[in-house]
């Protein structure tokens, strides 16, 4: 299971880590599309989110 610490609604899983990460990216995309469609604010990312690679 993978999730975004900043957005608890964005969570998904997969058989492999790669599948889980791909599913999480799709879930985030769906989340953003939904919020845009509803005219809701999309939270800004934190500068250094916990667990963030990069």
Average pLDDT over residues 29-50: 86
pLDDT of res. 50: 57
Provide the CB-side half-sphere exposure for 43 (13 A, CA).
Answer: 13
pLDDT of res. 54: 43
The pair of three-digit structure tokens given for residue 41, joined into one six-digit string? 């604010």
Mean pLDDT of the chain: 85
pLDDT of res. 51: 58
Average pLDDT over residues 7-28: 91
2, β-bridge pairs: 12
Domain ranges, ordered by start, for the chain: 1-54
């Amino acid at each position: 299971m993978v999730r975004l610490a900043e957005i608890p609604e964005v969570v998904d899983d997969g058989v492999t880590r790669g599948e889980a990460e791909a599913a999480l990216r799709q879930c985030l995309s769906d989340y953003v599309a939904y919020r845009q469609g509803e005219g809701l604010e999309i939270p800004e990312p934190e500068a250094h989110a916990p667990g963030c690679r990069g």
